[in-house]
Amino acid sequence: MKYFLFLFFIATTIIFCFGSSYPELMMLHHSATILTAAFLIYIIVRNNLSNLSFLFIIIFILLHVIGAKWTYLDVPYDNWWKWLSGHTLSSVFGWERNQYDRLVHFGFGLLIWYPAYEILQRWFGYKPRHARYVAWKFIAMTSVVYELFEWLLTLVAPADQADNYNGQQGDMWDAQKDMALAILGAAVAWISYYLRHLFDRLKKN
């Protein structure tokens, strides 16, 4: 299964690189994609992570690949939803900004919490209770580090490129909201994991 998922991820990434809206930002965006690909190869070779965790990582990085094609400012989900339903999501929910970056930050917490939990257990020998908490802290910490990276980017990159990459869209609280959504996503994953195992125990009894 891991081989199939990895090949699907590589093929999708290559396809989405064609016709990029901002080709000058592609290498910056896909630096994360390349690092993830290397990490996934390591997992395949060592076979030291579950298929579920591997799938979650693939789903998350594909969300990023979609954002990299159009930039997080301009992912045309409104056009897609209008084609399906005749209405835009922005008109339905009253949004005034592109919310795709918010989705990806929430998805980071939701999808990466479980792989982080599993890595802490399998690779570093954490007890399950500690691993669950540290995985949640890992999501919070990496979200802070990423927002600091975006801030540094505004200092060294041309203003238009930094804006297109960061997707702040004029919101002075953008960084705080992004971090909060990642932390919330991780909390949802943690609670879902707990409820699933609670339900399994009740079924056995």
Q: Where are the domains of the chain?
A: 2-204
pTM (whole model) above 0.75: yes
CA atoms within 13 A on the CB side of 6: 16
- The more confident residue out of 163 and 150 is 150
**CA-closest candidate to residue 71, choices 14, 8, 23, 34:** 23
> Do 62 and 11 form a contact (C-beta atoms < 8 A)?
no
Q: Which tokens in the block code for residue 12?
A: 């999708």
Q: Tell whether the model's pLDDT for residue 24 goes beyond 90.
A: no
Q: Which two tokens stand for residue 39?
A: 């990490």
Would you say residue 161 has pLDDT above 70?
A: no
* Pair of tokens at residue 65: 């690949």
170: pLDDT strictly greater than 70: no
pLDDT single digits (tens) 26-79: 888 898 899 999 999 999 998 889 999 999 999 999 999 999 898 888 899 999
At residue 131, the pLDDT reads 97
Q: Over the stretch 175-195, which tens digit does the pLDDT of each residue have?
A: 899 999 999 999 999 999 999
pLDDT at residue 103, rounded to an integer = 95
DSSP string, 111-131: HHHHHHHHHHHHTT---HHHH
Angle of helix 51-70 relative to helix 2-17, nearest 10 degrees, comes to 0
- Find tokens 């690092």 and name the residue: 35
Q: What is the mean pLDDT of residues 128-151?
A: 93
Specify the pLDDT at position 80: 94
DSSP state of 23: G
Residue 51 · residue 13 · CB < 8 Å: no
- Is residue 150 within 8 A of residue 175, CB to CB? The reply is yes
Taking 70 as the threshold, does the pLDDT of residue 164 lie above it? no
Residues 105-128: what's their mean pLDDT?
96
DSSP 73: T
DSSP character for 21?
A: S
pLDDT at 168 exceeding the cut of 80: no
- Is the pLDDT assigned to residue 115 strictly greater than 60? yes
Please give the sequence-ordered ranges of beta strands (E in DSSP) within the chain, or none if there are none: none
70/184 Cα distance (integer angstroms): 26
Q: Mean pLDDT, the chain, as a whole number?
A: 89
- Helices 26-46 and 51-70 meet at what angle, rounded to 10? 170
